A and B are shown apart, each in its own frame.
Chain A
Amino acid sequence: MTDFEDRLTSALHSAGDAAPDATGLAPAARRRAGVRRRRTALTSAAAVVAVGIVVGGVALQGDGDEGPSQVATDPQSSSAAVPTDEGRVETWHDVSVTVPSGWGHGSLSTWCIEGSEPGTPVVERPEGVVEDIACTPATGYGVRFFEAAGQHLEAFSPGTVNKSVGQEFPRKSWQGWDQAGSNGVLVVAPTQDEAERVLASFERVTGVDANGCTPHPADSTPAVAPGDLRLCRYGVDDWLEQSELLSGRDAAAAVAALGAAPAKGDRMCTMALTGPRIHVTTVDAQGWVTLDACHGFAWVDGEHDLTADVLYWVLTPGWTGGVDGDVPLPEMLRQ
């Protein structure tokens, strides 16, 4: 360790010594669990039975009587699929997949928090909120993006879907995975057809994705149609985390929110800008919104302060990060 690392370790331990007293933790947790249980009982009345999938050292297995079905994929293709009424494109880093419009966002492994059966499929990105509380099966339905390093998915071939019999997945769910470069996607769906369609849409993004976003921030991006607004959200590592293309009234409301943000106050920010940040593009303007209250954001006619309305529109659905500083947050996120 360097001297600086030693100082840092010492500083963090010193800070920890000032932590609050742990007295009463267990009773407080019990009270919260009671409230959560009552809320869950209400929610589970409308629970939907679905399918699940898991990644990360978990064996995937066919049940023998229904062999794997080959899905035509071309992971090297850079031709981005156009979103249709039948689905939406979800991108993470340099891979993308098209999922049914009704699929939500979240973690595949948390279905048992809200219901008694695996429910609505969700799209999961690494670093999302993962309440790892050992649901059985361990994962519900949806799509999970993953970094290939350290994953063990050799139980069956990439690009094929298989019926699961393992305890890690919902009974009779259909699963498949694929990988391009160092990133991949795992699909768990209730039906073979749905699993195949989602997996077949998997592709590597070598240029821009279906929404016009590049895997890393670029000097130039494709033009945006009049009336549309493109959001490319990048993480602190400058990898694309999610993309979105707003149109119609949504795009107009987003532009209005950006323009209505007050001019940035006169203040000095000590920490350099490092993201996460969102690149916002319209037909005649573009700018970066960094999730840092001090720095604000640059848009059209100058620098502005972050507002709740701006965050409402630029934070893509399913975002689970934080905003540094004292930012007025929206009442809810877009779904």
Chain B
Amino acid sequence: MTAEFDEWVAARGPGLLRLAYVLTGNRADAEDAVQDALARALPRWDHIRSVGDPDAYVRRMVVNAHTSWWRKFRKRETPVAEAFVPVAERATTGEDRDRVWRSCLRLPEAQRVAVVLRYYEQLEYAEIAALTGVAEGSVRSRVSRGLAALREELGEEHDDD
């Protein structure tokens, strides 16, 4: 089981870390979330492999680890890898991509998760609904509201094309 688990982590771990980092905006929290999810999966690895898709299982665990209140508690015990730079300050650098991502990180958590799963993971609304445990209509609403909030913060015109 150990070799199989290691093999799976070697293949999927980088992707999970990228997702966690996009969600948290913090390297320490991203590593914490992924390690914690893997630690919970490891003792039941054989069972997880036998009953379903390990990718989906562990991805869901990472997302939920990110949204956990308890994760917020642990954050205080972990050195913050990067200082959060205010949006106004970043805007002067012209780094548009970074500015958009930083704005995304400032969305309310439920909207941020929905937006990241939709536009980073490229999941369908139904897949996001299954992963987060809310109705598809709620996912659509959160994505829509998240986009609207981002446009407002970034001073974007609404394009309907």
Contact = CB atoms under 8 A, between A and B. Distances in A.
A130 B36 contact: no
A11 B101 contact: yes
Nearest to B113: A127
Contacts of B159: 2-4
A36 B68 contact: no
Given A19-B18, A28-B35, A134-B47, A14 B97 contact: yes
Contacts of B41: 29, 133
A113 interface: yes
A320 B69 contact: yes
Contact of A15 (B22, B68, B115, B135): B22
Given A15-B22, A15-B97, A272-B152, A130 B60 contact: yes
Nearest to A291: B108
Interface in B1-58: 2, 5-6, 9-10, 13-14, 16-22, 25, 27, 30-31, 34-44, 47-48, 51-52, 57
Interface stretch (A206-214, A218-226, A322-330): A322-330
B9 A29 contact: yes
Interface string A128-146: 1111111110000000000
Interface residues of A, number: 65
A150 B21 CA distance: 31
A12 to B, nearest CB: 4
B153 interface: yes
Interface string A88-115: 0000000000000000000000001100
Contact of B150 (A8, A112, A129): A8
A46 interface: no
B87 A270 contact: yes
B69 A319 contact: yes
Nearest to A274: B108
Given A11-B100, A15-B98, A36-B40, A4 B156 contact: yes
Interface in A302-335: 315, 319-324, 329, 333
B38 A26 contact: yes
Nearest to A271: B106
A149 interface: yes
B88 A33 contact: no
Contact of A26 (B6, B19, B119): B6
A45 interface: no
Interface string B100-132: 110110111111000110011010000001001
Nearest to B35: A28
A41 B144 CA distance: 45
A5 interface: yes
B120 A236 contact: no
Contact of B109 (A5, A36, A128, A322): A322
A248 interface: no
A132 B17 contact: no
A25 B44 contact: no
Contacts of A133: 40-41, 44, 48, 57, 61
B142 A236 contact: yes
A123 B51 CA distance: 26
Nearest to A270: B87
B79 interface: no
Contact of B57 (A30, A132, A236, A274): A132
Contacts of B161: 2-3
Given A128-B133, A132-B64, 7 more contacts: A9-B122, A20-B30, A25-B34, A33-B39, A33-B40, A150-B129, A236-B142
Closest 7 CB pairs of A and B: A29-B38, A32-B39, A16-B18, A11-B100, A19-B21, A12-B120, A11-B97
Interface of A: 2-5, 7-20, 22, 25-26, 28-33, 36-37, 112-113, 126-136, 147, 149-150, 182, 235-237, 270-272, 274-276, 292, 315, 319-324, 329, 333
15 contacts: A5-B147, A8-B115, A8-B119, A9-B120, A14-B98, A16-B22, A19-B30, A25-B34, A30-B2, A36-B43, A127-B110, A236-B108, A271-B107, A271-B153, A274-B149
